[in-house]
Amino acid sequence: MSKTIVEKILSEHSGTDACAGDIVVAEIDAALVQDGTGPLAVQHLQKLGMEQAAKPERTVLFIDHAAPSPRKELSNAHKILRDFAKKTGAILSDVNEGVCHQRMVENYMNPGEVLIGADSHTCTAGALGAFATGMGSTDVALGIASGKTWLRVPETFKVYVTGEFKKGVYPKDLMLHFIGMIGADGATYKALEFCGPTIDAMEISGRFTLANMAVEAGAKAGLFNSDETTKKYLKERGRGEAWRPISADEGANYERVYEIDVSELEPTISAPHMVDNTKVIKDVEGIRVDQVYIGTCTNGRIEDLRIAARILEGKTRNPHTRLLVCPASRDVYLKAIEEGLIAKFIVAGATIVNPGCGACVGVHGGILGDGEVCLATQNRNFRGRMGNPDGFIYLSSPAVAAATAIEGVIADPRKYL
Amino acid sequence: MQIKGKAFKFGDSISTDHIAPGRLFHLRTNLPELAKHVLEDADPEFASKVQPGDFVVGGKNFGLGSSREHAPTIIKLAGVGAVLAESFARIFYRNAINIGLPVLICDTNQINAGDELEVDVSKGEIKDITKGITIQAKPLPDVMIKILNDGGLLEHFRKHGGFALDA
Ligand code: SF4
């Protein structure tokens, strides 16, 4: 029978003819936890007397959400992960390395593989043609220990994208637009398969942004074909030999098909307190912003920093607006230094925050004050997300963020491009 | 499984940030302490008012957001008997079952704050005693019933020496 990408990958990993709706027990290739979810996972395994990793070389423990630790409780939580790594041989990605999802695609994930992660944005790796999904500490703990997990094979929504982006409009705008269109629960329990000429032409960083936000529409995974772009990326990362082509079969069964033409798309913003509360730029222009945050697993890659630096070059941030720049990983950071981007940010008045989750999850490094407004390149803006339930978060592309830092109010980036 | 208690009503889109906010990240390894703040950003008084067996009654897409299992765990630790909602976000739903917190999908519009409820989880039957009506929940998928009956996924795994969930 013709299969979607998800059905193909889960068939291979369960040794069954997996179709949407089936319950399978699947082999997993890799697993991740982070410092917010990992300690509980380790405690679960201690309770079971199973402090072990079936695939230590593909089990990655990230210290990224509170890195470096801002308080002793978190330092102690980090110790749990460091000890578990020592005991089991699992890989520790410590405070210097960066955000889990960026590091997973940079160093560990390949097309056709299955990844489970105790973090909702684990779906990022779907951009490489893998099945990657977020779960809780219990699921991932058992996955780490046994090398397996149970899954209901999801139905797939096909998202067929055509047209060329206008100047100043990016994959982030497409994803915010799409989530606004179908709603924050529009794809609950489903897999999204992104395809079409616009996706074929899209560079890998844009695909990461789309896959990353699949969960913001409720989806279990966001998947892409593994093609020449994927191959090029894996080669650059020294894993060329791990490439294999992946795409859905002709005639595969889709529960729904969405067609989106991006050629008329405008810079798009999510307004507080929901990701699906989307607006086009002209409807939110002029709103005063106290803090701009450029970074995260959604838009903290070198391509994102290049866009922001280009706009900020030779300009300075508005004195009323703090500008935080947080490269998603150590490799991104180094590259940004080599390319001179970091210097441009500093000259423009930015504060550079070390690679990690930083302000995104509201633990440290950019917590909002009461009534303050932040415009961020991250993926969600729920009430309290950035550490204060009385803060307000708008989501945008790095270009809008850079223009907003200059003007101190939400601004259209196109006049700077 | 029969549970009796009072309904605490919440709106649509209660996120994991409402339930277990990031600013309390440092309490994640101290769940009893974190439970004192459960749902604080949706209703600051909830944690002090909730009694064992009471129900959290939400609207659409309950539990959206993060994968933090701490969210259903502290709802359970606070004594909540079950969460009823029109729909759930995927990860929250799976986490809740994994840790043994019953979650039922039903028409919660018919339930008001403060209503006395009696819930039969296995039958999916919700009696609103205050109103004198019975609301039928969507039956839980078989796989979820298996996990719940085993007392959560860890217990399931221990009992069967692995996953015994595929057909
Ligand atoms: S950057 Fe933000 S969204 Fe991404 S993993 Fe970290 S906290 Fe989560």
Picking from B18, B91, B158, the nearest residue to A120 by CB comes out as B91
The distance of B142 to chain A (nearest Cα, Å) reads 10
pLDDT band with cut points at 50, 70 and 90 for residue A396: very high
Mean pLDDT of chain B: 96
B148 domain-assigned: no
Q: How many CB pairs under 8 A join A and B?
A: 156
**Is A19 among the annotated ligand-binding positions?**
no
Q: How far apart are the first and last CA of chain B?
A: 25
| Average pLDDT of the segment spanning A34-40 | 98
Residue A78 scores a pLDDT above 90: yes
Residues of B with CB under 8 A from a CB of A: 13, 15-18, 21-23, 25-30, 41, 60-61, 64-70, 87-91, 94-95, 98-99, 141, 143, 152-154, 157-158, 162-163, 165-167
Beta strands B103-105 and B82-85 are parallel
Closest listed residue to residue A8, CA positions, set A24, A261, A207: A24
Mean pLDDT computed over A147-155: 98
Distance (Å, rounded) from C-alpha A190 to C-alpha A39?
29
Percent share of chain A, pLDDT over 70: 100
Shortest alpha-carbon distance between residue B131 and chain A (Å): 30
Per-residue pLDDT tens for A300-350?
999 999 999 999 999 999 999 999 999 999 999 999 999 999 999 999 999
Cβ(B63)–Cβ(B89) under 8 Å?
Answer: yes
Asked whether residue B83 carries a pLDDT value surpassing 70, the answer given is yes
pLDDT at position A267 is: 98
The DSSP string of A260-321 is EEGGG---EEEPTT-TT-EEEHHHHTT-B-SEEEEEHHHH-SHHHHHHHHHHHTT----TT-
Nearest-angstrom CA–CA distance, A137 and A142:
9
- Report the percentage of chain B scoring pLDDT > 70: 99
Residues within 6 Å of ligand 1 by CB: A 65, 99-101, 119, 121, 296-297, 357, 360-361, 378-379
Domains located in chain A, CATH noted: 5-260 (3.30.499.10), 268-412 (3.30.499.10)
- pLDDT of B122 > 90? The answer is no
Does residue B90 lie in a domain region?
Answer: yes
pLDDT, tens only, A179-196: 999 999 999 999 999 999
**Percent of chain A predicted with pLDDT > 90:** 100
Q: How far apart are CA A357 and CA A6, in angstroms?
A: 29
Task: Answer yes or no: is pLDDT of B1 > 80.
Answer: no
Mean per-residue pLDDT, A26-31: 98
Q: Which atom of ligand 1 is nearest to the CA of A34?
A: 5
**Separation between Cα atoms, residue A187 and residue A216, nearest integer Å:** 9
Residue A327's H or E segment, with its range, is none
> CATH no. for residue B134?
3.20.19.10
Give domain status of residue B161, yes or no: no
Q: What is the pLDDT of residues B126-139, one digit of tens each?
A: 999 999 999 999 99
- Chain-chain contact of A138 with B69 (C-beta, under 8 angstroms): yes
Looking from the CA of residue A300, the nearest atom of ligand 1 is: 1
Is B167 within a domain?
A: no
Q: Which atom of ligand 1 is nearest to the CA of A328?
A: 1
Could you tell me if residue B149 is inside a domain?
no
| One-letter amino acid of B72 | P
Kindly identify which residue of chain A lies nearest to residue B27, measuring between CA atoms. A73
- Residue B88: list chain A partners with CB under 8 A: 188
Amino acid identity at A330: R
* Chain B hits for A49, Cβ within 8 Å: none
pLDDT (0 to 100) of residue B73 = 98
Look at residue B167 in the predicted model and tell me its pLDDT. 60
Mean pLDDT value of segment A14-34: 97
Q: What is the pLDDT of residues A230-283, one digit of tens each?
A: 999 999 999 999 999 999 999 999 999 999 999 999 999 999 999 999 999 999
Q: How far is A39 from chain B (nearest CA, A)?
A: 7
Average pLDDT rounded to a whole number, residues A23-43 = 98
In a domain, B166, yes or no: no
Chain A contact set for B141 (CB, 8 A): 152
In this structure, what is the dihedral angle of CA atoms A222, A185, B87, B29, given to the nearest 10 degrees? 70
Query: A326 among the known binding-site residues?
Result: no
Q: What is the pLDDT of residues B27-51, one digit of tens each?
A: 999 999 999 999 999 999 999 999 9
pLDDT greater than 90 at residue A213: yes
Q: Which positions in chain B touch A388 (Cβ < 8 Å)?
A: 23
Instruction: From chain A, pick out residues whose CB is under 8 angstroms from the CB of B61.
Output: 184-185, 188, 218
Number of domains in chain B: 1
Which pLDDT score is estimated for B79?
97
Residue B65 lies in domain = 2-138
Q: Are A37 and A134 in contact (CB under 8 A)?
A: no
Q: A32, A62, A175, A297: which to mutate for ligand 1, most atoms within 8 A of CB?
A: A297
Q: Do B60 and A142 touch (CB under 8 A)?
A: no
Query: Would you say residue B52 lies in a domain?
Result: yes
Token pair for residue A114? 């299955």
pLDDT single digits (tens) A116-134: 999 999 999 999 999 999 9
Q: Is there a domain that residue B145 lies in?
A: no
Q: Is pLDDT at B166 greater than 90 in this prediction? A: no
What is residue A358's predicted lDDT score, i.e. its pLDDT?
87
